[in-house]
Homo-oligomer: A and B are copies of this chain.
Amino acid sequence: MTDIRMIEAAAGRIAGHVRRTPLLHAPLLDRIAGRQVLVKAECLQLTGSFKARGGWSAVSALDPQALARGVIAFSSGNHAQGVAYAAAKHAAPCVILMPSDAPEVKIANTRAYGAEVVLYDRATEDRDAIGATIASERGLTLIRPYDDPQVIAGQGTVGLELAEQAHKAGVDSAAVLVCCGGGGLASGIALALQARAPGLTVRTAEPQGFDDMARSLASGTRQKNAALSGSICDAILTPTPGELTFPILSRLAGPGAVVTDEQALHAVALAFSHLRIVLEPGGAVALAAALFAPDLPDSVVAIATGGNVDPATFSAALDRFA
């Protein structure tokens, strides 16, 4: 099970290969929010999202024989690129299973990193079963997007950096809003902050209708979403909290925040205008919560998790809200 020592070990393995991302802020954004908003810009991470951390952590933890056989991952796009990038840099063969409705830019970039992309239908096919079959046929190691201790450890390195950066910014007590799909990033950050910055409390942020984690945290048991697709926040539409991640968040996280697709697009536009970063809607959910959710403290951190967005979606957000 992931703990602070595993996260620190992951930080050692990714150092020099994965970027330390800046903690941004903007006076005019604070004014809109009515509170201090610090933004950890993981969209500036290599491959465009925090997933490069977990990908590198998991791939670099494999033994040489497993590396030589290769890896497989299933992902709507960001985990795909993270694993593909890490595999390419380790000269490991890589197969990525992607839903056929993933943004084109994510499919194209995953291929550009050298991975073999296999598409499946998100609504009718079982990605776990397909992945397991290919993995077994070729002897590939399956790198799960969140229910993998080394992936959680890699994502937790965001928390190690944040603990230092927030302290340096004079913020030792805050809510840390984290865009949440399966909970790998949120649980990794929660473990790191518990050890290094206990005044910072993780709160998950999810799109309306896909708030399985918020409902699970409220009820104490893992809940499922009614739908598998239908939000613009494609990056974080997982059906239910992870088996490994939920107990961690159950223990360490505050109540989950929920935002509308509209609010996510509004946050995309405000990040453009005031932070000059590019966010995908799913990567802007935590910032949307920081700006628009009720019952937040005076200081919040939003993890801006990714920026792999189709140009048309981005322009539409600017057209409506910038």
Contact = CB atoms under 8 A, between A and B. Distances in A.
Contacts of A19: 22, 24
Interface in A239-285: 269, 272-273, 275-279
A314 interface: yes
A85 interface: yes
Contact of A276 (B27, B269, B307, B311): B307
A46 interface: yes
A113 interface: yes
Interface of A: 19, 21-22, 24, 26-28, 31, 41, 43-44, 46, 48, 85, 105, 109, 112-113, 269, 272-273, 275-279, 307-308, 311, 314-315, 318-319, 322
Contacts of A272: 278, 311, 314
A105 B276 contact: no
A46 B26 contact: yes
Contacts of A44: 22, 24, 41, 275-277
Given A314-B318, A315-B318, A113 B277 contact: no
Given A22-B44, A318-B311, A318-B314, A113 B27 contact: yes
A34 to B, nearest CB: 15
B319 A311 contact: yes
Given A44-B24, A44-B276, A277-B278, A311 B307 contact: no
Nearest to A279: B276
A318 B278 CA distance: 12
Nearest to A169: B16
A319 B319 CA distance: 13
Contacts of A314: 272, 315, 318
B276 A43 contact: yes
A47 to B, nearest CB: 9
Question: Which 6 pairs across A and B sit closest by C-beta, in order of nearness?
Answer: A276-B307, A311-B318, A311-B322, A315-B315, A276-B278, A43-B276
Given A27-B113, A277-B278, 17 more contacts: A27-B85, A28-B112, A31-B112, A44-B275, A44-B276, A48-B276, A105-B273, A272-B278, A272-B314, A273-B311, A276-B278, A276-B279, A276-B308, A277-B277, A311-B318, A314-B318, A315-B319
